[in-house]
Amino acid sequence: MKKVYIAVSADILHHGHINLIKKASEYGDLTVGVLTDEAIATYKRLPVLNYENRCEIIKNIVGVKEIIPQKTLDYTENLNQLKPDYVFHGDDWKEGSQSQIRQSVIETLKGWGGELIEIPYTEDVSIDQINSIIKQSDSIPESRRGKLKKLLSLKKTIRIMEAHNGLSALIVENTQVQKDEKINSFDGMWISSLTDSTAKGKPDIELVDMTSRINTINEIMEVTTKPIILDGDTGGLIEHFVFNIKTIERLGVSAIIIEDKIGLKKNSLFGTEVEQTQDSIEHFCEKLHAGKSALKTDEFMIIARIESLILKQGMEDALSRAKAYIKAGADGIMIHSREKQPDEIFEFCDKFREFAPEIPLVVVPTSYNQVYEEELSAKGVNIIIYANHLIRSAYPAMQETAKLILENERSKEVDDKCLSIKEILTLIPEE
């Protein structure tokens, strides 16, 4: 009997899958690789059904002989293990984001003379329509709030990008690139105080008030589904924080990060060039504890941000604060640095993991940006935030366009720097 292999996520199952299974099983004993929750989360939204449920469905379909987990989008590991005579897939992956994965399947099969058989994609399946229905329910606060915790349970390290309005959030939501045998995308959004303030032409000194921040959150929430982490600055007065946190939680935000500074807050990347005061451990712990007590769900996370390295207070101070903040109820720790080298961040990570093996650890590699995500991940970092890059890249592009128009006294010269009129008109679909 020949061996046949297909891989499916089976989160949305339709007659196209049944057709594929039927055809594949006619060629021999069919093994189905079911993509794990983690594998699905690396390239699209979190699965609606978990791995066990999806396996239960697949193994009861006529023609399926065996199921095995497929841990990545890439087939290589399973193919090398099984050495199937045939792999079946719909012909829809010849182009687009999965074409590299297809290529590696073809190469791997060559190792033992296996063959890839592609059957015509079942045209009348409107996956887009099904996805858009899921997307609508995915964006409501109740389904959105818990997504960050869920992602953290599935992936060792997640990648977050700043968004400061609906349009930048759509870029975070939808941008994907194919990289080797993976599809890279962002896992969620950071609503930065710096970029939210800058977009409004205001300095990053807690001047943009909570009502305005909530408007930004709502604008972003309305058009996206990925989890949101709010930069909560210092969290403000404890008496105000306990109210604000309930509002933020109710909106469907997944986490707030508050920093241990007090008084007039300035951006951390100024470091000690400007006057900034670190909060006392006792007072900040009181804030964390009060915040945690005010929450209504266990989905929402309060992450404590330590400014000791920014303010040159030393590693020991940073570590003892981390211990105290965890004890006060923090669901995670963010450690910030403005050094050009990652050494102090790496040292913190190593020492932190000695006493907090499970607590989510967040970093913002803006100044030490030569470091790859994989290196941070190996140091035990769970959340990597790109805190300001969309607005920082948009500004020079807009300024250049403005200058070119002034220089030329017409706009023809900026044509190739702009979306065409057709593109801008259709960028945001009407439904």
The verdict on 168 binding ligand SPV (CB under 6 A) reads no
Q: In terms of CB distance, is 89 or 305 closer to ligand SPV? A: 305
Residue 193 touching ligand SPV (CB under 6 A): yes
* Pairing label, strands 277-278, 261-262: antiparallel
Q: Which helix (H) or strand (E) holds 426?
A: helix 421-427
Buried b (16+ CB within 10 A) or exposed e, 96-131: eebebbbeebeebbeeeebeeeeeebbeebeeeeee
DSSP state of 257: E
Q: Should residue 278 be labelled a site residue for ligand SPV when binding is judged by CB under 6 A? A: no
**Separation CA 79–CA 93 (nearest Å):** 18
Kindly report the backbone phi and psi dihedral angles of residue 161, in degrees, each rounded to the nearest multiple of 5, phi listed first.
Answer: -120, 145
Q: Residue 98: name its binding partner from Mg ion, ligand SPV, none (Cβ under 5 to 8 Å by kind).
A: none
Distance, in Å, from the CA atom of 214 to the CA atom of 201, rounded to the nearest integer, reads 17
Residues 95 and 66: beta-carbon distance below 8 Å: no
| Residue 169 in the binding site for ligand SPV (CB under 6 A) | no
Residue range at the interface with ligand SPV (CB under 6 A); choices 142-150, 174-182, 207-215, 264-272: 264-272
* Pattern 347-386, ligand SPV, x by CB under 6 A: -----------------x-x--------------------
Q: For residue 175, what is the DSSP state?
A: -
Out of 70, 78, 108, 388, the residue judged to bind ligand SPV by CB under 6 A: 388
Q: Give the x/- contact pattern for ligand SPV in 205-244, rule: CB under 6 A.
A: --------------------------x-------------
CB of 281 to ligand SPV, least distance (A): 20
Note whether 231 binds Mg ion by CB under 5 A. Answer: yes
- Residue among 98, 165, 193, 225 that touches Mg ion (CB under 5 A): 193
Write the burial class of residue 307 (CB in 10 Å: 0-12 exposed, 13-18 middle, 19+ buried).
buried
Site size for ligand SPV, by CB under 6 A?
Answer: 12
Q: Dihedral angle at the C-alpha atoms of 161, 164, 167, 170, nearest 10 degrees?
A: 30
Residues with catalytic function: 204
Give 141 or 203: the residue with its C-beta nearer to ligand SPV.
203
Q: Which stretch binds ligand SPV (CB under 6 A): 215-223, 261-269, 295-303, 311-319?
A: 261-269
Binding flag, residue 268, ligand SPV (CB under 6 A): yes
User: How far, in whole angstroms, is CA 58 from its chain's centroid?
Assistant: 28
- Tell me the C-alpha to C-alpha distance, in Å, between residue 311 and each of 261, 278, 348: 10, 8, 15
Q: Which of 42, 70, 98, 192 touches ligand SPV (CB under 6 A)?
A: 192
Task: Summarize as ranges the residues that interact with ligand SPV (CB under 6 A).
Answer: 192-194, 204, 231, 267-269, 364, 366, 387-388
